[in-house]
């Protein structure tokens, strides 16, 4: 890996270090290390779920992340049945029992009223599990934030768009071959589509977002700002960058381009840890949101009525999914 690629990996590690602490705190609250230690042998997901009172779907995601970072280990199953996979202690997880360093880690997370993110109570209630639990799916946005933080968040969105779009240009230029008109749905100020139009001059770019967003967007060469509601309609184009826009692209030549995290549970690469950490962020911030695996993306696109799709991985946290009507 070259120095620039390694630097990108390191940045994601630093960015999600705090989220790792949140998940470790939640794991200790659930007493997962204690349950395994007291049981005296490795346990299945179902056994652990019953023991700690946490739904299997969300517990699987937490264990997937914790095994990746080495806190637990997953033992090979004698069958291909995922339900028979066993989770076991490691020297590190044994240090995180309540008899060892578990309480120390909980104190580092701060008093309960000052914590943000996952908790054992959230998970037992169904947060992150697909169950109906909390009053709002959009929990993170119900919290009051000041103008300074909101400005910083907008800067984050722009910087993330720049990094992701650069990876697309570098690793997936063929995705834009033959496209004349491209709509970026939810493109905010038009950062991403502006970069794509500059890299591929044959493109005509449309930045589509809420009217109040595009009214404040700066002029971007080669890009038209259009306001509207994506749940009502989307401007017609050869390609649309977002889900749920199948009707807006030509049935014979059009496609939807999705730039999002795709989790590979079988292997992975140097960005796998960041993708799994992003899944923990989504679990912390929403009720039912999650990052999807290759299989889950396929199921979603099939259910949406797309005839076929391809997934192209990049040296980045996201992959490029091309879905065809």
Q: pLDDT tens for residues 156-166?
A: 778 888 888 99
- First CA to last CA distance, the chain: 37
Mean pLDDT calculated for residue range 236-263: 74
Please, which contacts does 139-145 make with residues 24 or more away whose CB atoms are closer than 8 Å?
A: 139/285, 139/286, 139/287, 140/285, 140/286
pLDDT at residue 233, as a whole number:
84
* Under 8 Å between Cβ of 181 and 206: yes
Other beta carbons less than 10 A from residue 310's beta carbon: 11
What residue has token string 């993330």? 160
* Under 8 Å between Cβ of 314 and 8: no
Q: At what angle do helices 272-285 and 3-15 cross, to 10 degrees?
A: 30
| pLDDT more than 90, % of the chain | 35
Give the Cα separation of 33 and 98 in Å (integer): 8
Higher pLDDT, 153 or 229: 229
- Provide, for the chain, the percentages of residues in helix, strand and coil under a 3-state DSSP scheme, each rounded to the nearest 5: 45, 15, 40
Give the Cα separation of 185 and 210 in Å (integer): 10
Taking only the tens place, the pLDDT of each residue in 60-83 is 999 999 999 899 999 876 666 777
Mean pLDDT calculated for residue range 156-184: 87
Give the Cα separation of 200 and 57 in Å (integer): 42
Helix (H, G, I), strand (E, B) or coil at 33: helix
Give the Cα separation of 149 and 226 in Å (integer): 27
Beta bridge partners of 226: 208
pLDDT at residue 37, as a whole number:
94
Taking only the tens place, the pLDDT of each residue in 93-136 is 999 999 998 888 888 766 665 455 678 887 887 766 544 444 44
Higher pLDDT, 267 or 55: 55
* Under 8 Å between Cβ of 290 and 61: yes
* Under 8 Å between Cβ of 118 and 286: no
Give the Cα separation of 298 and 45 in Å (integer): 24
What domains does the chain contain, in order, with CATH numbers? Answer: 3-142 (1.10.10.10), 147-324 (3.40.50.150)
Higher pLDDT, 136 or 58: 58
Give the Cα separation of 153 and 279 in Å (integer): 19
Q: Which of 92-96, 248-252, 265-269 has the lowest mean pLDDT?
A: 248-252
User: With a threshold of 0.85, does the pTM exceed it?
Assistant: no
Taking only the tens place, the pLDDT of each residue in 275-315 is 898 888 888 777 778 899 999 999 999 998 888 899 998 88
| pLDDT more than 70, % of the chain | 82
**Closest to 263 in 3D by CA, of 288, 238, 290, 225:** 290
* Under 8 Å between Cβ of 285 and 298: no
Higher pLDDT, 324 or 3: 324
Q: pLDDT at residue 226 above 90?
A: yes
| Residue 43: pLDDT band with limits 50, 70, 90 | very high
């Amino acid at each position: 890996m070259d120095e620039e690629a390694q630097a990108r990996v390191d940045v994601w590690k630093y960015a999600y270090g705090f989220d790792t602490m949140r998940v470790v705190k939640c794991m200790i609250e659930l007493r997962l290390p204690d349950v395994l230690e007291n049981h005296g042998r490795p346990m299945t997901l179902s056994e652990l779920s019953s023991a700690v009172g946490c739904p299997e779907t969300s517990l699987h995601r937490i264990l997937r992340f914790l095994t990746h970072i080495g806190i637990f280990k997953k033992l090979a199953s004698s069958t291909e049945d995922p339900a028979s996979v066993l989770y076991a202690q490691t020297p590190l997880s044994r240090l995180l029992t309540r008899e060892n360093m578990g309480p120390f880690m909980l104190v580092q997370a701060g008093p309960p009223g000052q914590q943000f993110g996952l908790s054992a109570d959230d998970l037992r209630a169904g947060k992150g599990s697909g169950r109906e639990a909390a009053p709002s799916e959009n929990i993170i946005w119900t919290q009051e934030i000041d103008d300074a933080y909101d400005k910083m968040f907008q800067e984050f969105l722009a910087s993330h768009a720049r990094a992701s779009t650069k990876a697309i240009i570098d690793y997936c230029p063929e995705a834009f071959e033959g496209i004349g008109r491209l709509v970026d749905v939810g493109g905010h100020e038009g950062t991403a589509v502006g970069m794509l139009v500059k890299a591929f001059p044959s493109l005509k770019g449309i930045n589509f977002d809420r009217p109040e967003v595009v009214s404040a967007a700066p002029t971007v060469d080669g890009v038209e700002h259009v306001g509207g509601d994506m749940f009502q309609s989307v401007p017609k184009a050869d390609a649309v960058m977002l889900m749920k826009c199948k009707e807006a692209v030509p049935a014979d030549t059009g496609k939807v381009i999705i730039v999002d995290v795709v989790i590979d549970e079988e292997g992975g690469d140097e960005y796998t840890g960041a993708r799994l950490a992003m899944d923990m962020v989504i679990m912390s911030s929403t009720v039912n949101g999650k990052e999807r695996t290759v299989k889950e993306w396929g199921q979603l696109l099939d259910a949406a009525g797309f005839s076929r799709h391809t997934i192209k991985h990049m040296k980045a946290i996201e992959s490029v999914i091309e879905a065809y009507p």
